Amino acid sequence: MSEDLKAIYSAAPGIFQKLRREIDKVMIGQNVAIEQLLVSILAGGHALLESNPGLAKTLLVKTTASCLGLGYSRIQCTPDLMPADITGTTIIDDIDGSKKFRFEAGPVFANIVLADEINRASPKTQSALLEAMQEKQVTVGNKTYLLDKPFYILATQNPIEMEGTFPLPEAQLDRFLLKIFMEYPSVEEELQILERYTGRSEPVVEKVVSKQEVIALQQLCRDIPVSDDLKRAAVNLVLATRKWEGVQYGASPRASIGLIVSAKARAFLQGRNYVSKEDLHVMAYPVLRHRILLNFEAERKGLTRDHVVADLLRNLNI
Say what the pLDDT of residue 164 is: 67
Kindly list the domain boundaries of the chain, sorted by start residue: 3-223, 225-318
pLDDT value, residue 96: 72
Region at 3 (left for phi over 0; alpha for psi -120 to 50; beta for the rest):
alpha
Average pLDDT, the chain: 90
Sorting pLDDT into bands at 50, 70 and 90, what band is 88?
Answer: confident
User: In the prediction, which pLDDT does 163 show?
Assistant: 66
What is the C-alpha separation between 154 and 100, in angstroms, rounded? Answer: 35
For residue 2, pLDDT beyond 80: no
How many angstroms separate the first and last alpha carbons of the chain?
32
pLDDT for the residue numbered 178: 96
Q: What is the pLDDT of residue 284?
A: 96
Transcribe the chain into DSSP letters.
--HHHHHHHHHHHHHHHHHHHHHHHH--S-HHHHHHHHHHHHHT-EEEEE-STTS-HHHHHHHHHHHHT--EEEEE--TT--HHHHHEEEEEEEETTEEEEEEEE-TTSSSEEEEETGGGS-HHHHHHHHHHHHHSEEEETTEEEEPPSS-EEEEEE-SS--TT--PPPHHHHTTEEEEEE-PPP-HHHHHHHHHHHSSS--------S-HHHHHHHHHHHHTS---HHHHHHHHHHHHHHTT-TTEEE---HHHHHHHHHHHHHHHHHTT-SS--HHHHHHHHHHHHTTS-EE-HHHHHTT--HHHHHHHHHHHHT-
Q: Is residue 162 over pLDDT 70?
A: no
As a whole-number percent, the residues of the chain with pLDDT over 90 amount to: 57
| CATH class of the region 3-223 | alpha beta
pLDDT of residue 124: 86
pLDDT for the residue numbered 185? 92
Using pLDDT thresholds of 50, 70 and 90, give the confidence band for residue 1: low
Closest Cα to residue 168, out of 106, 120, 116?
A: 120
Give the pLDDT score at 254: 93
Q: Could you tell me the CATH superfamily of domain 225-318? A: Magnesium chelatase subunit I, C-Terminal domain (1.10.8.80)
Give ∠ CA 91-95-101 in degrees, rounded to 5. Answer: 25
| CATH topology match: 3-223 vs 225-318 | no
Q: What is the rounded CA–CA span in Å between residue 255 and residue 234?
A: 9
- 251-277 pLDDT, tens digit per residue, is 999 999 999 999 999 999 999 999 999
pLDDT of residue 308: 92
How many whole angstroms from its chain centre is CA 47?
2
More confident residue, 284 or 95: 284
Q: Specify the pLDDT at position 227.
A: 94
Q: What is the mean pLDDT of residues 206-229?
A: 93
- Looking at the predicted structure, is the pLDDT value of residue 157 above 80? yes
- Per-residue pLDDT for 218 more than 70? yes
Instruction: Please count the other Cβ atoms lying within 10 Å of the Cβ belonging to residue 274.
Output: 13
Lowest mean pLDDT among 38-47, 83-92, 227-236: 83-92
pLDDT band at 128 (very low <50, low <70, confident <90, very high): confident
Give the separation between CA 272 and CA 106, rounded to whole angstroms: 39
pLDDT of 192 higher than 70: yes
| Position 176 pLDDT exceeds 70 | yes
Q: What is the pLDDT of residue 159?
A: 78
Q: What is the mean pLDDT of residues 129-151?
A: 88
Q: What percent of the chain has pLDDT over 70?
A: 98
Measure the CA–CA gap between 173 and 127, rounded to whole angstroms: 11
Q: Write the pLDDT tens digit of every residue in 15-42.
A: 999 999 999 999 999 999 999 999 999 9
